[in-house]
Structure 1
């Protein structure tokens, strides 16, 4: 996986996912996208369709943040408020959700690049080479061959000096120096030495890091040149001072959230269990796939079906769903079966479902 792809995952994760893992509710933000007859609209928490399905669909790109949603309209991408009214007249080739009062947009015209707008639609800066978002008052951007951080005054707050950089979270920014990843603080000073193959965003006071472990033969797979092998990487967690709270030893892991994380041990089980910050299991490995906890529930897959477990790993909503996403402000988007989706509440009751063909 190349470094550009990984770093952009980090950026987009914060653009789209920060509010899922903890933001104070805002009335206008409690609107949820739905798709009907290949058009996108929004429901409220009761399942009432408050903004009719009328916008272009683009997978999970459209969300309400800070009372504003990015939507695809007839002439391109723009923004609406909680009533469905257009608040920005400009039409962009792409529009990302607002974060800390600013939104990144792809400007129309071949090679025009990206820019940031405010909530009036005023273009504040243009010519950026990649999408970005403000978090902790900083946004990663590239200048020439190096990366640094833009401040909300649209001036460089941390000079471009890194091989790559991703969004800040909890006061820590993942950066790449000399082929390895570490973290900087908001002053631009190295806080965690670059020695990892990748560093992810800080959550719950810990950053998830990955190191190369070994090249392992794939059992039963022999290629034209002999035994087929795979590179094995292990995940661990560091604190803001660089101490390895949990040394890299897990084949897979989620971020910590609400004090717990899902991990896969390097012992051949290939199942996710739940650990606390000391590394102690609070629920033994039992899940095939898992997402971080959100609102004290986590979406997990057992076999072919998804459900939700509580912080102790007990089933809160039985695994009878085709797919499930984290809860956000009391609702979760799910697929009841392939091609039929909707929203459920934390009791598992259906709030809205797409009945259109």
Structure 2
């Protein structure tokens, strides 16, 4: 009886959480030069009036930019602009990674020539005193003050990183890549301690306790959080593991395939291109059309689209007849193709 009540309670909670969130996506209407936001059904939530838009954070705030005033703004899902303590600020957009938005309720902003962190109320929770600042993850971020790298928490408390460095990157699962003065990469923990010595040419981020690392003979393998090889360096290219599928895309010579955490290969031969797994599915291609296959290499969404993006929060952007819409994991249209461009679905609080 207790188990039954627990199960019913869990279902009710799950239903409540699902109802407490809505899906929202950046869209560019056909013939428009500007961006806005739409719901999963394709109906516009925020008019296409911004030169640049960025994904909403889970807390319900997004960054927008207009060239008219050359200023970034934060808006909510009703298009209301957040009043900020600092009226003039810039955000950091990392090439290839975009902007994460608010992480741990904070986002790095540049005020003048210095960086600090603004909270979701528009206040400077951490003063702009740094020469560089990374995104928060798990309550910690790496910053640079002068020539010194530091780790800070969400209250701005600083811990010096003892090892001299050229660069320190974002934290992931409590560890951050660090590039030493000899240009070798290792990892530090949130106390600023070097826990994996700098010995690699380059490294990735930890996912499920595993990160790729590249040796100086140009081979990629995978290490655990102690720096021990769990898959010996043997690949020419290696991507990060997908948290759900437990698979990573690798390449040896001209052959692409996947490996699990034990190094067991999965070779998908019925495709002409290989994408990273995202939410259990990977993008593939036959001829000029794209679709998705599962962790067994079986097509679950047959190649039928002109282009696709990875799955995010249960939906993937797909292009047909020159227009973009959204499909679910069965390949069914949830948003009919109607936009010139589209980004990924995020979930925000109602």
TM-score with structure 2 length normalisation? 0.78
- 276, 301, 316: which is aligned to 1:317? 301
1:92 corresponds to 2:89? yes
By how many angstroms is 1:88 displaced? 3.1
Is contact 1:296-1:310 (8 Å) kept? yes
Residue 224 of structure 1 corresponds to which residue in structure 2? none
Residue 171 of structure 1 corresponds to which residue in structure 2? 174
- 267, 271, 278: which is aligned to 1:283? 267
Residue 119 of structure 1 corresponds to which residue in structure 2? 120
Looking at structure 2, the residues matched to 88 and 271 of structure 1 have their Cα atoms a distance apart, in angstroms, of 52
The change in CA–CA distance for 1:300 and 1:156 in structure 2 (over 3 A counts) is farther
Structure 1 residues 5-20: aligned runs within 5 Å: none
Looking at structure 2, the residues matched to 38 and 242 of structure 1 have their Cα atoms a distance apart, in angstroms, of 48
1:105 corresponds to 2:109? yes
1:72 corresponds to 2:65? yes
Is contact 1:174-1:201 (8 Å) kept? yes
1:52 corresponds to 2:66? no
| Per-residue CA distance 1:20-43 (angstroms, 9 max, x = gap) | xxxx97955621111121221112
Gaps of 5+ in 2: 1-16, 93-98, 342-350
Structure ranking higher on relative contact order (CA contacts 8 Å, 6+ apart): 2
Aligned length: 306
Instruction: State the secondary structure of the residue aligned to 1:212.
Output: coil
Is contact 1:272-1:285 (8 Å) kept? no
1:196 corresponds to 2:189? no
The change in CA–CA distance for 1:273 and 1:64 in structure 2 (over 3 A counts) is same
TM-score with structure 1 length normalisation? 0.76
- 147, 150, 155: which is aligned to 2:149? 147
Looking at structure 1, the residues matched to 234 and 264 of structure 2 have their Cα atoms a distance apart, in angstroms, of 13
Residue 313 of structure 2 corresponds to which residue in structure 1? 329
Residue 252 of structure 1 corresponds to which residue in structure 2? 237
Looking at structure 2, the residues matched to 352 and 127 of structure 1 have their Cα atoms a distance apart, in angstroms, of 47
Residue 188 of structure 2 corresponds to which residue in structure 1? 184
Structure 1 residues 210-249: aligned runs within 5 Å: 210-213=214-217, 233-249=218-234
Residue 12 of structure 1 corresponds to which residue in structure 2? none
Residue 249 of structure 2 corresponds to which residue in structure 1? 262
The change in CA–CA distance for 1:189 and 1:70 in structure 2 (over 3 A counts) is same
Residue 131 of structure 2 corresponds to which residue in structure 1? 129
Looking at structure 2, the residues matched to 131 and 300 of structure 1 have their Cα atoms a distance apart, in angstroms, of 37
Is contact 2:308-2:318 (8 Å) kept? yes
- 13, 25, 29: which is aligned to 1:32? 25
The change in CA–CA distance for 1:306 and 1:254 in structure 2 (over 3 A counts) is farther
By how many angstroms is 1:82 displaced? 2.0
| Per-residue CA distance 1:123-160 (angstroms, 9 max, x = gap) | 23214333521012111222223423222112323436
